[in-house]
Copies of this chain bind each other. A is one copy, B any other.
Amino acid sequence: MSLSFIHDETPTEEVDRREAVVAGLADSVRALVDATIRTTVDDDEVRAVQAEVAALTERLRAAQLPGPAGVRYNSEGRSWSWGNAVVGSSNAVAPPLEVQHAGDGRTSYAEVVLGAAYEGPPGMVHGGVSALLLDQVMGETASANNSRIAMTGTLTLRYRHPLPLGPVRLDCQVTKDADGKITVQATIGENLPDATPAVEASGLFVVPRWAR
């Protein structure tokens, strides 16, 4: 199966400008998601807010893409995936994560604050959310910061202890890279100097034959 990346000749300057605008909206929608979980206002007020949310949705749908955002690139080498479930700047499901890649391209890290929307056990980050974030960081690092395509082959996660909601940090490194197969190790834990990893991950990422 091939994947449809979209060649989009929007100039980088215009991409950056538009991204700031939609990212601003997505930030506000993230706050609305949090408030929807935590609100204790009365039923009538919840219903009144719901009607207004629906009206705003219709305004945004006045002109829209026919489907998901996809992954786009232009001839200047800029690529963007604003809809990505982890890093997408226009996607309010995404925290969003900003992955920091080291100069050698083999290590990376990310810091983010996870709030009420990412809960599993009471007060704790959902174990599947840790898997979701780790998969993205590991995939990006395996793909050398998106300079090649690397798909998840296998992913193994060891859960050492529960991870409280709040500031978390992910660390990642490529430990082997040969013949289109890339082995990656990563952790997620509390963002504290002396924190031990809550979850340890090991993954094998594969450059598809059609993309080598």
A interface vs B, CB < 8 Å?
1, 3-6, 18, 21-22, 24-26, 28-29, 31-33, 35-41, 43, 45-47, 49-50, 52-54, 56-57, 59-65, 67-71, 81-86, 88, 90-93, 115-124, 126-129, 131-136, 139, 151-159, 161-162, 165
Contacts and interface: CB of A to CB of B under 8 A. Distances in A.
Contacts of A93: 33, 92-93, 117-118
Q: How many copies does the complex hold?
A: 2
A26 B63 CA distance: 23
A128 B120 contact: no
Given A3-B123, A52-B56, A36 B40 contact: no
Q: Is the interface of A mostly helix, strand, loop or mixed?
A: mixed
Contacts of A33: 29, 33, 91-93
